[in-house]
Structure formats: structure tokens, C-alpha cells
Structure 1
Amino acid sequence: MKAQVGFSQRIRLEWLDYTAQLVIEGHSRKEIKARLEELLKKHLSVGRDFPTIGNREKAIVILLKIWSSPPESLVEFRNDGLKLLQAVSPELRLAVHWGMTMAVYPFVAAVAEIVGRLLLLQGSVARAQVLRRLCEQLGERETVTRAAQRVIRCFVDWGVLQDTPRKGVYQSGPVREIEDERLAAWLVEATLIARGVTLYPLDQLVASPALFPFRLRNITPWAIEENGRLTVQRQGGDKDMVVAERRR
């Protein structure tokens, strides 16, 4: 999994929704940036002295990279995500934002995977545990710790984690059932992208701790292969492996 941080601000779901909707409506990156500057004016500070970058600018960069101008290798994946946003029920829009955010910012997936593993093991998760394990993986840097804290707060804001009476300790929010096989297959692809690999066992992707807010149903090799970017190969007689096309 890639170690770049990048995602360093608390991002609200409604901001992701707003950005994606502007892309769907066909607005240019310049137009979307101007709209976001207006939207976030009341919420986030701006850098006062060049070359200081304020929280508002950082949030706009994140939002644009997720939905307006992702890496070229993810444009087709993003386009499918936009179609899903228009097709799924309102309560499942989070799953689409989750998948796109993981694919563009694997750091978020790294935090989610640690959180998911700890929830599975002990039913709750302490912020200190997440930070310790993340620093073991990526190195003990202030940027890692600070960004991870903001990602965790995003998870709380998005309802996938809930505060408990103990400060800095969280429990899982409601788990959402994903029965739409197109969405489930797209989330499998998002998890594969976030891991930075092109080959991985299907059952481990479906049950990935990074997808802890969701439970994937109706996922078959045929559904996986429908988007044209993934294939499923049988190995060892009984092991389905998901294979992704190599991204430039």
C-alpha cells in the first residue's frame, strides 16, 4: 500500500457530494474550484502569507483530486463511480465516496484497514492504537499522525465510527449492506487499487477490513469482470484471484 499522506483535512460528505454533482453536470475544473472556494469560505481558513497553504486550499485540492481531476489511470474508474452515485440509494452514496477516496488516497485505506482489523478483534478501537500501528507501517512522522487523526474524525463525521464515553475510543457505526453487485465489484476494484497491487484473492478483497463500514453481498466472478478492467482467474483449483489491468 502506498505511503503518501495527501489527505490531511477533515472533509465533509456533503462537500464530496457537491463536488461530484458539479462533475456530473459537466462543469470545468476551474468552475468547480471557484464554486468550492465559495462553499468553503465560511468553514475553513485560508493561508494568509504566500507560500502558506491554508486549510481551505488543502480541502479544495483533496476534493478536486477525488472527483474532478483524479490521476489519469483512475479516470475510467471515476466515471463508473459517477454513474453509481446517480444510481444508488442516498444511504449508499457513502460507499461510492469511500471507494473513490481510497483509490485516490491509499493513506485513507491504510487507516481504514487498521481500524477495521481492530474493530474485528476487540469491538472498539482506540485512536492511540491506530496511530501506533500506522507509524509502525509508515514511520513515526508528525505528518502521518496529524493526517491520521483527521481521517479518523472524518470517519466519525461520516457515521462509520461513533464516539464512546471513553475519550479517543470509538465503536463501529451501522454496517451498510451492499447488495448491488455493480457497486460491490467497484468497491473490490477500489480496494485492489488502494493496495497498489494487480493480483489479489477475491475472498480477501470482499472481506477487506478497509471496507469495514460495508458488507458486500452478491459478488460473483462474473460481476467482477463486467467492468472490463478486472478478470478473475482460478488458482490452485479453488482460489479465485482478481487480476487488474496494468495502470499507466
Structure 2
Amino acid sequence: MNLRTDQIGFSQRVRLEWLEQTAGLVLDGNDRSTIFAALEDLLKDKVSIGGTAVRGNREKIITILMKVWFNAPRELESLRIDGLQLIRRLPCNHHLAVHWGMIMAVYPFWGAVAACTGRFLKLQGTAAAAHVQRRLREHYGERETVSRAARRVLRSYVDWGVLKESGTKGVYSQGMSLMIENPGLFAWLIEAFLHTLPGGRAPLKTVLESPGLFPFRFQPAAADGALAASSRLEVLRLGLDEELVMLRD
């Protein structure tokens, strides 16, 4: 695995509207200091109210927001630029998928929590926070920081509406499920997912059915046209009914 997939990084509860605001500030052409100041103003009465710590939760959230949409890792720059253009062009109800994909690419821990959650949802219809945390500690180590970060990511999923409270504390059920029909968004989200994988490749069927993409539904029949239109994806046919999708070098 590469270094990013070994790190937690995403350790705060982040609301969808904060990412939307950040993307809007970037699309308007603002520089780093202007975006940072605007986000501080946005969060001042929502997070760490009255706090003066140099690296309090508010500053950590702003770091996440800016790393997603302003200064993403170099290898994700093309993905970031195209993601911003999707936000500019697509209706607001499509934006959740764009923010999800970009966070997942920048912070693979978000996708790791999603994969654990999605597996439990598929197997038993609910996902208990304690079970998700235990699975993640098996991978990232027996640290309280892992459990705490996982809790905050799960609460973010609830805020976004893709998970909902089941009535039992700490147990969640599936929230909204979004059909991805736009070809450009279809290919872009697949590309974002591949950036979370070692080698950047996987069987197409595995990608479309990945528990890490549990809030979304795909039409496999639509894949060929959508992926063929992407300049950064390549599809190899391995057999009569198996295809491998990969990031182009």
C-alpha cells in the first residue's frame, strides 16, 4: 500500500455543506488566504466555539476541506479539476457523489470506513459503530485515534444522509441511495475509487459492487460508454464476462 492508504488523516466530523462552500470558493478563483478566512468565518460559531488552540478542531476541519478542493496531492490534480467542473455543471443533488469521491481519493481512511460499513449493511442490514471500529483497528492498529476518527466519519455519513439512526444507539441503517446515471460522473467516480487501491486497478464488477461505494447504485450496462469516454481510464477484457478497469499511466 502507498503511504496515504496507511494514514488516517480524516479525523473530524465534516458536513456536506462545508465541502460545497469550499468548492464554490475555489471555483470563484479565490486564493488560499481568502478561502481560509472564509472557512474560518463559516465555522466560527459551529466548531470549537471560543477556542484559541493553534490546531483545534476548526483548523483541522479547514485543513481537510482545503486539501480536498484546493491543494489535493499532485497525483490527484486532474481528478480535482474535473471534480470541480462536475460541481459547476451538475445539479446539486449530484454533488454528494463528487464530494464523496474526492474525499475518498484524498483520504483513503474515509473509503476504508465506508467499505466496512457497506459490508455490514449488505450482510445484516445494519452497521454497528463498535463493529466497524473493531475491523478498522485490525488494520490501522489498536489505537484510540482509530476508533475516534471512525466515529466522526460515521457521524459525517449520518449528516450527509447516507446512513440513518436505526433506533439503537450506535447502530445505523442505509440512508439515501443515489443512482449514478451521468456518464461523466460515472467515470469520474470510478477513477476516484481506483485511486484508493494499490496499483489503481480492479475488476469492473468488483468496483461497481464495492461496499465502499454503498451510497451509490450503478447500471453495469452503462459502464462501457462512460469509461470509454475517459482519457484517464483503461478497460481490458479478460474473458467473456470479465473486464479490468485501471488508471492509465
Is the counterpart of residue 48 in structure 1 residue 52 in structure 2? yes
Q: CA deviation at 1:184?
A: 1.2
| Matched-pair contact (CA < 8 Å) for 2:114–2:214 | yes
The one of 227, 233, 241 equivalent to 1:238 is 241
Q: Secondary structure at the match of 2:195?
A: helix
Q: CA deviation at 1:7?
A: 0.6
Q: Measure, in 2, the Cα distance between the counterparts of 1:10 and 1:243.
A: 31
Is the counterpart of residue 19 in structure 1 residue 22 in structure 2? yes
TM-score by length of 1: 0.94
Q: State how 1:1-248 maps to structure 2 within 5 Å.
A: 2-45=5-48, 48=52, 52-217=54-219, 219-246=222-249
| Matched-pair contact (CA < 8 Å) for 1:47–1:53 | no
Q: Which runs of 5+ in 2 are unaligned?
A: none
Q: CA deviation at 1:227?
A: 2.5
Q: CA deviation at 1:63?
A: 0.2
Output one character per residue of 1:125-150: Cα deviation in whole Å (capped at 9) or x when no partner.
Answer: 11111001111122111111110010
AA aligned to 1:21 is: G
Give runs of ≥4 in structure 1 deviating > 3 Å.
46-49
| Matched-pair contact (CA < 8 Å) for 1:119–1:171 | yes
Q: Measure, in 1, the Cα distance between the counterparts of 2:176 and 2:200.
A: 31
AA aligned to 2:90 is: V
Q: Measure, in 2, the Cα distance between the counterparts of 1:219 and 1:205.
A: 14
Q: Secondary structure at the match of 2:52?
A: coil
| Matched-pair contact (CA < 8 Å) for 2:190–2:207 | yes
Residues 193 and 219 of structure 1, relative CA distance in 2, 3 Å threshold? farther
Residues 233 and 177 of structure 1, relative CA distance in 2, 3 Å threshold? same
| Matched-pair contact (CA < 8 Å) for 2:26–2:70 | yes
Aligned-residue CA RMSD (Å): 1.5
